[in-house]
Amino acid sequence: MAALSTPERTPVKPRVVLGIETSCDDTGVALVDADGRVLAQALHGQTARHQPFGGVVPEIAARAHVEVLDRLIAGVMAEAGLSFKDLAGVAATAGPGLIGGLLVGLITAKAIASVAGRPLLAINHLEAHALTARLTDRVAFPYLLLLVSGGHCQLLVVEGVGRYRRLGTTLDDALGEAFDKVAKLLGLGYPGGPAIERLAGEGDPKRFALPRPLLGEPGCHFSFSGLKTALRQLVERLGPAALTQPTLADLCASFQAAAFASLCDRTGRAILRTRAAWPDVSTLVVAGGVAANRRLAAELGRLTADHGLALVVPPPALCTDNGVMIAWAGQERLRLGLTDPQDAPARARWPLDPAAEPVLGAGVKA
């Protein structure tokens, strides 16, 4: 009697990944398939809760994630008509970020992955930003990345998934953080970036002479603390009575012009350095919340045109924190078999390039 053959087990195809983002004050959930199609997504912001405090309060953020995360997950699963067993993997931001919020999302992902018997993908939030352009524009490796957000300001060469070379980072404040602090100083509320961009469009960027940090200096690092201090001193000299709406607009325009001049100078130096060491690089990708600023995109467009590079800026909704980018990063890692164990930790700090030389004062939020 012939022996019965054992049927081969069909492996789960990396078709749909659930992504969960809870690193700061946005709760994002999404389902993305291996071809980059977004099957369903949901995003819940907490701006109203944090506005009275002029910034994100970590404890409030964590509690807010707990309140809405299960409902958002149930909603996207129902919208896509899927069960957890239909997933190929479960991805969640594991860092860097506010540790309380990270734990909410990561523990939830671990529970789903365990119950469904699916791989866990502990995602670096910065890597998710770095890879978003491959979802939206199919950008090929390698490329130069300018990451500008509330917590991060870095220039990196993206060589591949999990392969990053840091060229520059902030020595103090991230640009988005500087925008928020300046907005608070001027009484514009939180979040500061959109308010400053709106007023800057009405103002004269040449009225006030503000410093351009590190302009013309060697290297690719950033610094925005001195610019922020210079603006504060200027406001104190002007006095409250002088802060009319036109003057506020001119202050915003002058601050934004100085910040972007510095940013473009540093980025231009990174382009030259990249061209020498990575001649195949033909694209500058800009990611992070500040990338949604239209003036910045225009200035970087002129810079890349001068250097013969393509400029890719994902849509604004995918520049700020969201579940789509986490799910896509999960797809990229799952495709390479880069899954994580159930004891994968949440990390408040998690640099993309751990081998990069430490910089005095830098990496506070990286």
CATH number of the domain at 193, please: 3.30.420.40
CA distances to 131, 198, 303 from 339, rounded to whole Å, are 17, 42, 38
Both 167 and 31 in a single domain? Answer: no
Structure tokens belonging to residue 106: 């990561």
What is the distance between the alpha carbons of residues 106 and 338, in angstroms, rounded to a whole number? 17
Distance CA(144)–CA(271), nearest Å, equals: 8
Whether 70 maps to a domain, the answer reads yes
In a domain, 345, yes or no: no
Q: Is 344 part of any domain?
A: no
Shared-domain flag, residues 193 and 255: yes
Query: Is residue 343 domain-resident?
Result: no
Q: Beta strands of the chain (E only): which ranges?
A: 16-21, 26-33, 38-45, 89-95, 120-124, 143-148, 153-160, 163-169, 283-287, 310-312
Residue 174 lies in a domain: yes
Name the CA dihedral angle for 177, 178, 181, 186, rounded to a multiple of 10 degrees: -140
Q: Are strands 163-169 and 153-160 parallel, antiparallel or unpaired?
A: antiparallel
Rounded Cα distance between 23 and 125, Å, is: 8
Q: What is the pLDDT of residue 355?
A: 84
Predicted pLDDT of residue 150: 83
Please give the residue range of the domain that contains residue 48. Answer: 16-131+319-335
- Asked whether residue 183 falls in the same domain as residue 278, the answer is yes
Burial level of 209, CB count in 10 A (0-12/13-18/19+)? exposed
Angstrom distance (rounded) from CA 202 to CA 199: 5
C-alpha closest to that of 351 among 103, 170, 134: 170
Torsion angles phi and psi, residue 290, rounded to 5: -70, -20
DSSP character for 96?
Answer: S
How many CB atoms are located within 10 Å of the residue 259 CB?
A: 27
| Same domain assignment for residues 90 and 150 | no
Give the pLDDT of residue 359: 67
Report the number of distinct structural domains present in the chain: 2
Indicate whether 289 belongs to any domain. Answer: yes
Specify the pLDDT at position 366.
Answer: 37
Chain CA centroid to CA 58, Å: 18
Whole-number Å distance between alpha carbons of 291 and 311? 12
Buried b or exposed e, range 306-322, using 16+ CB within 10 angstroms: eeebebbbbeeebbbbb
- 214 with 99, same domain: the answer is no
Q: Are residues 122 and 149 in the same domain?
A: no
Are residue 95 and residue 244 in the same domain, yes or no?
Answer: no
Q: What pTM does this model have?
A: 0.90
Shared domain for 231 and 124, answered yes or no, is: no
Claim to verify: residue 221 and residue 118 sit in the same structural domain: no
In a domain? residue 349: no
Residues 340, 345: Cα–Cα separation, whole Å: 10
**Do 66 and 185 belong to one domain?**
no
Q: Does 158 share its domain with 244?
A: yes
Is residue 358 assigned to a domain?
A: no
DSSP annotation of 222 reads: B
Query: What string of pLDDT tens digits covers the 366 residues of the chain?
Result: 344 333 344 444 449 999 999 999 999 999 999 999 999 999 998 888 888 887 789 899 999 999 999 999 999 999 999 999 999 999 999 999 999 999 999 999 999 999 999 999 999 999 999 999 999 999 999 999 999 988 889 999 999 999 999 999 999 999 999 999 999 999 998 888 999 999 999 999 999 999 999 999 999 999 999 999 999 999 999 999 999 999 999 999 999 999 999 999 999 999 999 999 999 999 999 999 899 899 999 999 999 999 999 999 999 999 999 999 999 999 999 999 999 999 999 999 999 998 887 765 544 343
**Are residues 84 and 125 both part of a single domain?**
yes
